[in-house]
Amino acid sequence: MNDIPADLHYTTKHEWLRRLPNGQVEIGISDYAQNALGDLVFVEVPEIGRRLRAGEACAVVESVKAASDVYSPISGTVVAGNAELASHPELVNLEPYTAGWLMRMEIDAPEPTLLDADAYAKHLAIQVR
Amino acid sequence: MAFIPHTSDDITAMLQVIGVQSIANLFDEIPSELLVGPLALPAALSEMEVGRLMADRAACDGRYLNFIGAGAYEHYIPAAVWAIATRGEFYSAYTPYQAEASQGTLQVIYEYQSMLCALTGMEVSNASLYDGASALAEACLMAVRANRASESRRVLMPRTVNPTYIKVSHAIAGNQGITFESVDFDRTEGRTLLQSLHRYQGEDFTAIVLQQPNFFGNLEEVDELTDWAHQNNILVIAVVNPISLALLSAPNLWGLSGVAKRGADIVCGEGQPLGVPLASGGPYFGFMATRMQYVRQMPGRVVGRTVDTDGRAGFSLTLQAREQHIRRSKATSNICTNQGLNVTAATIYMSLMGAQGIERVAVASMRNTDNLVAALTSIKGVRPAFAGHKFHEAVLLLDRPVAPVLAKLAGRGILGGLDLAEHYPELGNALLACATEVKTNNDIETYANALADVLSQRS
Amino acid sequence: MSELPVHPGLELREALIFSLSRPGRAASTLFPLHADAVQITEQVLAQIPMHLRRRIAPVLPEVSELQTVRHFTRLSQMNFSIDTQVYPLGSCTMKYNPKACNTYAMLPEFMARHPLGPETQGFMSCMFELQEMLKEITGMRGVSLTPMAGAQGEFAGVAMIRAYHRSRGDLSRIEILVPQAAHGTNPATASMCGCSVKEIECDANGDVDLGALQAAVGPNTAGIMLTNPSTLGVFERKIVQVARIVHEAGGLLYYDGANLNAILGKVRPGDMGFDVVHMNLHKTFATPHGGGGPGSGAVGVGARLLPFLPIPLVGCEGSRYRWMSERDLPHSIGRLSGFMGNAGVNLRAYIYMRMLGRDGMVRVAEFATLNANYMMKRLTAAGFEAAYPNRRASHEFIISLRRENSLFQITAMDVAKRLLDYGFHAPTTYFPLLVPECLLIEPTETETKQDLDRFCDAMIAIREEMQQAPEKLLTAPHTMPVRRLDDVRAARELDLAWKPVG
């Protein structure tokens, strides 16, 4: 069963987004995505200061059998990358929604519509079928 | 039937199991209008006949006393090298995808990677690329991925780099929008001067290519050139001759004492001098090594050491997620098959020779080339083209066009070198010649006498 | 105390060569410069400015000749190979590599021939005749032997397609179509040529979906890359329609020769409507795979692409063979290798083709197909599921283990590893990606019925084990030098080179 926390927003490409109290957002990949990739062996996060458009490839998650791009759910500027992942990529497998976050961003354009937890669960149900 | 072991009983039994009358029925899904009649091909030869044919063709090619280098060098190859490399277990195996049944090939590649790292001083090496020329093209593509400070996709390409490597880089990397800025060389010393780079100061370049020794056989001032590049956020791609690395500074140390405190970033080159015969230009192998920080931008296969479920050490292909069969259109390169058997030969060669043996080969080649240059330049009408330091190859200037002279020498069974008229017309009647360790004083004298004789005739 | 690793009997384990090394040991009979070596070295080194000299010698092994011979011979024994095992690796055409091809390609005159030397006619005539034979086999107008592997042949092919469109000022054609089941090199090649990739679906019978194709082509279409028979092990029956659709849309057709063995002498890519083809000489024409190369990926083209062939080619004027270069083909896509590609591999292919001759070519396709269909029948009769049971197999076929996977939790990987214990190299697993838990099996024409039967019997025995003793599969292999390897650790804790201690 896939873990889909109710307080997060999702994309159809399996990224999640969390609003932080300071107005920034935190971004990672969903439990479903980490499970589909298998044991991660390498994670590359974007450098601080990089400006991203919504839908732009910005990070890479790599397992022994797959390497996948992560796309930014929103437009904005990267303010932090999860440095822990360089030596511990398995954090994304173990705690995809907490310690396995990929990056934090400052939003500079109005947010596009993202999926809520229910909508993402439905999206997964269709995809898995 | 050539290489087909089926008896008529086998065929009958197999057709029966399949449930068809004849082998022709097995092709009944192919639209009949597409089937062709007999092709216009020669009839089959027996092994004995083909052996005779090839012996005749080989005799027709003959043997020459060779003084051409220019990227393919005639070194002595110990008998053990190909006796082992052509063992069926190496020769007829596939790429080691089933690691447990391919530990031999995998361990050879791991040992090769280790030796290549030792020679170049770099941290990681791949399992090989096709040849030196295409390795440089791949290095340029890799530099674009690795140098995130640069957006220009422009590469500085000195004219002292092997001109064919430059052409191949254009053909392969050009399709991805990479452009090359040609940098001229100093006519007196035959090398790239630091001053010639100053005009590019502050411009955005992705990489610079530095060949050591350069195509003329001369030594580049790699330290100051490397340091300049790094001060300008330009990656350094070193193209090196592996034999020369016994004597010349390892690329990881180039420029290290300079302001930027950083050696070459990507090292590549032609592996042929390490135990691979001249053989009309291939198969050879290209090598590539780099810093650990760029390992995921490096193309080609890589073998890693790991453990099995019992905790025993073993080897497997790793970092495969970069490769075409997983990453598809986003792969670092489309390369899959590389030059495994030649790598096997090179690994055996490096083991047999060791650092000491390779150093002796380098020293003997340098000494013979010195002797060759001395013998040839003592002939009236021959002088050295450049004043700089060199490794085991040199450019000589003749008093008349080179091609007819070479043709006359070839008529006497001597390959006198490479005519540079096509690639460097501005040098005049320039000849690139090389004498590796396999040449004797007698060979050099034979060449010198023949050249003196040819030049004594009126051109 | 013994420091050296012990090798009891025939147990296959071998320490790294670096651990055999001892300072001062050397195979010195192999070195040049016996007399005065020290003195000459000093003199020569003095000519190199100090700052350009190597300061610390590289750490390479210091071993005897016997140690080296024994080490690498023992390593060779830790490999499966065609010479020692049946090797039914789908899409790789692991047929016998005749010894004569190696022996005669390594004649001393061929070995010593410098690539920049004179155009000696022995070698040149072999290359010219090879070009001509490949033209005839593929139904093409010109052939270049310079690509050094299948992937480089693909690159040359797509680069020529791009050059063709560019030469007509048709700059918008940068989209390459590939069927879903295509080999990963196809999309990777398209990217290397600066093209984008569009995937086309296949229908339930493994043919390209013509509706999807029609919808996908347009003014941006540069071409389509196809393998026929496809990677699904079946002949693409609608190939003539596919060619018409793509040509009418202004695109060209690229033939990936990975599966040429299936139709050698039977059907020609040129007659199917292809404009450009690459051949894997290391598959169809029996040159060795060498543990991962060298291969050779010759390309053939129809009339429209002739001006763009990669150089050099071998031309023939009167009775003289000569290199054709930039001057002869000013619109060529250029050079892909330092000299003329993998000449020695081409020579081996030439020798093989001369031994096959006209009739032998057709028999390759016939018996490769016979062997594959026979095995498919035997395995499906024993309960295995063929991916396309209503189709003829080409020279290869796909077994899907999805049923076994849901019944016994056994994967294709488990079966592959268990086959090693039975003394067979595994078929290709997990390719094509379309078919779940798949084994792609290609026996080739050079295997006997008796060996095919042994392989089928092993598969049937493994099927029994799935039910009776599944742990034998889950923990396989049991008889190899190592058990299953930890790929995750290999990639997380990269150990890519031995380093001296300290």
- Chain B interface disruption, residue of C54, C361, C445, most B CBs within 10 A: C54
- Structural tokens at position C283: 């598959």
- Structural tokens at position C346: 């081409």
- For C13, residues 6+ apart whose C-beta sits below 8 A from its C-beta are C5, C7, C481
Helix or strand or coil: residue C257? strand
Residues of the domain holding A14: 9-128
In this structure, the dihedral spanned by the alpha carbons of residues B279, B282, B284 and B290, taken in order and rounded to 10 degrees, is 150
| Closest-CA residue to B303 (of B85, B135, B118, B128) | B128
- How much of chain B, in percent, has pLDDT values that exceed 90? 93
Say yes or no to pLDDT of C8 above 60.
no
- Residues in C closer than 8 angstroms to B301, CB to CB, are 292
Residue B377 pLDDT class (50, 70, 90 cuts): very high
Cα–chain center distance at B386:
25
pLDDT digits (tens, 9 = 90+) for B104-135: 999 999 999 999 999 999 999 999 999 999 99
- How much of chain C, in percent, has pLDDT values that exceed 70? 98
CATH number for position A102 = 2.40.50.100
Alpha-carbon gap, residue B122 to C235, rounded angstroms: 48
Q: Where are the beta strands (DSSP E) in A30-95?
A: 40-44, 51-52, 57-63, 67-71, 76-81
Q: Is A61 in CB contact (< 8 Å) with chain C?
A: no
Residue C183 pLDDT class (50, 70, 90 cuts): confident
DSSP C214-235: HHH-STTEEEEEE-SS-TTSS-
Residue C432 pLDDT class (50, 70, 90 cuts): confident
Look up the ipTM and state it: 0.97
pLDDT digits (tens, 9 = 90+) for C82-93: 999 999 999 999
Say yes or no to pLDDT of C4 above 50.
no
Alpha-carbon gap, residue B166 to B175, rounded angstroms: 14
pLDDT digits (tens, 9 = 90+) for C410-422: 999 999 999 999 9
Q: Which residue has the tokens 């021939």?
A: C113
Q: Is B57 in CB contact (< 8 Å) with chain A?
A: no
Alpha-carbon gap, residue B198 to C168, rounded angstroms: 40
Q: What is the mean pLDDT of residues B29-52?
A: 96
- How much of chain B, in percent, has pLDDT values that exceed 70? 97
- pLDDT at residue B285 in the model: 98
Chain B: list its partners (3+ Cβ pairs within 8 Å). Answer: A, C
DSSP C130-152: HHHHHHHHHT-SEEE----SHHH
| Closest-CA residue to B394 (of B419, B431, B367, B426) | B431
Q: What is the mean pLDDT of residues C52-75?
A: 97
Residue of A nearest to B320 (CA): A64
Q: In this structure, is residue A94 part of a structural domain?
A: yes
List, in sequence order, the alpha helices (H) in B320-423.
324-327, 340-377, 402-411
Phi, psi of C181 (to 5 degrees): -85, 5
Q: Does residue C285 contact residue C93 with C-beta atoms inside 8 Å?
A: no
Say yes or no to pLDDT of B325 above 90.
no
B338 with C149: Cβ contact below 8 A: yes
- pLDDT at residue A128 in the model: 54
pLDDT averaged over every residue in chain B: 96
pLDDT digits (tens, 9 = 90+) for C141-160: 999 999 999 999 999 999 99
- pLDDT at residue B327 in the model: 65
Query: How many domains are contained in chain A?
Result: 1
Residue C473 pLDDT class (50, 70, 90 cuts): very high
Domain B65-76+355-456 classified CATH 3.90.1150.10? yes
* CA–CA min distance C187, chain B (Å): 4
pLDDT digits (tens, 9 = 90+) for B391-410: 999 999 999 999 999 999 99
- For B281, residues 6+ apart whose C-beta sits below 8 A from its C-beta are B72, C115, C337, C338, C339, C340, C341, C343
CATH class assigned to B79-347: alpha beta
Helix or strand or coil: residue C288? coil
Residue B193 pLDDT class (50, 70, 90 cuts): very high
pLDDT digits (tens, 9 = 90+) for C370-399: 999 999 999 999 999 999 999 999 999 999
Domain boundaries, chain B: 65-76+355-456, 79-347
pLDDT digits (tens, 9 = 90+) for A30-54: 999 998 888 999 999 998 999 999 9
Alpha-carbon gap, residue B301 to B110, rounded angstroms: 11
pLDDT digits (tens, 9 = 90+) for B204-254: 999 999 999 999 999 999 999 999 999 999 999 999 999 999 999 999 999
- pLDDT at residue C502 in the model: 59
B57 with C126: Cβ contact below 8 A: yes
Say yes or no to pLDDT of B35 above 80.
yes
Domain boundaries, chain C: 17-76
pLDDT digits (tens, 9 = 90+) for C452-464: 999 999 999 999 9
Say yes or no to pLDDT of C3 above 60.
no
- pLDDT at residue B324 in the model: 64
- pLDDT at residue B329 in the model: 62
Question: What is the pairing mode between strands B124-125 and B286-290?
Answer: antiparallel
On the question of a common fold for B65-76+355-456 and B79-347, the answer reads no
- Structural tokens at position C417: 């590893």
pLDDT digits (tens, 9 = 90+) for C93-148: 999 999 999 999 999 999 999 999 999 999 999 999 999 999 999 999 999 999 99
Residue C332 pLDDT class (50, 70, 90 cuts): very high
Report which DSSP code applies to B249. Answer: P
- Structural tokens at position C43: 């003199």
DSSP C153-187: HHHHHHHHHHHHHHHTT-TT--EEEEETT--THHH
Phi, psi of C139 (to 5 degrees): 70, 35
Window 460-489 of C: residues touching A by CB (8 A cutoff) are 487-488
Q: Does residue C62 contact residue C26 with C-beta atoms inside 8 Å?
A: yes
B89 with C337: Cβ contact below 8 A: no
Residue C5 pLDDT class (50, 70, 90 cuts): very low
Q: In this structure, is residue A3 part of a structural domain?
A: no
- Residues in C closer than 8 angstroms to B80, CB to CB, are 65, 68-69
Q: What is the mean pLDDT of residues B416-443?
A: 98
B340 with C151: Cβ contact below 8 A: no
Say yes or no to pLDDT of A98 above 90.
yes
Say yes or no to pLDDT of C253 above 60.
yes
* CA–CA min distance B323, chain A (Å): 9
- Structural tokens at position C360: 């032998």
B321 with A67: Cβ contact below 8 A: yes
Residue of C nearest to B341 (CA): C290
Say yes or no to pLDDT of B390 above 90.
yes
- pLDDT at residue B328 in the model: 61
Q: Is C492 in CB contact (< 8 Å) with chain A?
A: yes
Helix or strand or coil: residue A104? strand
Alpha-carbon gap, residue C142 to A17, rounded angstroms: 56
Backbone torsion region of residue C360, taken as left when φ is above 0, otherwise alpha when ψ lies between -120 and 50, otherwise beta: alpha
| Closest-CA residue to B301 (of B326, B330, B273) | B326
Phi, psi of C267 (to 5 degrees): -135, 140
C482 with B103: Cβ contact below 8 A: yes
pLDDT digits (tens, 9 = 90+) for B127-166: 999 999 999 999 999 999 999 889 999 999 999 999 999 9
